């Protein structure tokens, strides 16, 4: 399992995740929390190449506010 990074904010119905380094998941990759619960899918990668941001669209039933500050992983 690959660490994606930490959710730093929410915007327009997406969770914005700051990657830990330049290694980021591909678009369409499933994002899970520390308990391995699915929280959504990666829909975009943007920002600086050295440490990009990833936009995650949440799964149905996932509240974006609860994701703030959480570390996400790619499955």
Residue ranges of domains in the chain: 2-62
The answer on pLDDT for 1 being more than 90 is no
pLDDT score, position 11: 94
Q: Whole-prediction pTM value?
A: 0.92
Residue 60 exposed, middle or buried by CB count within 10 Å (0-12, 13-18, 19+): exposed
- Which string of DSSP letters, residue by residue, matches 5-62? EEEEEEETTEEEEEESSS--PPTT-EEE-TT--EEEEEEEEES-TTS-EEEEEEPTT-
The answer on pLDDT for 16 being more than 90 is yes
Tell me: the pLDDT tens digits for 19-41?
A: 988 999 999 999 999 999 999 99
Q: CATH topology for 2-62?
A: Thrombin, subunit H (2.40.10)
């Amino acid at each position: 399992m690959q660490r994606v990074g930490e959710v730093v904010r929410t915007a327009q119905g997406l969770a914005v995740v700051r990657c830990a380094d330049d290694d980021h998941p591909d678009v369409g990759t499933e994002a899970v929390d520390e308990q391995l619960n699915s929280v959504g899918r990666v829909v975009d990668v943007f920002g600086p190449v050295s440490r990009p941001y990833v936009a995650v669209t949440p799964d149905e039933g996932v509240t974006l506010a609860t994701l703030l500050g959480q570390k996400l992983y790619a499955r």
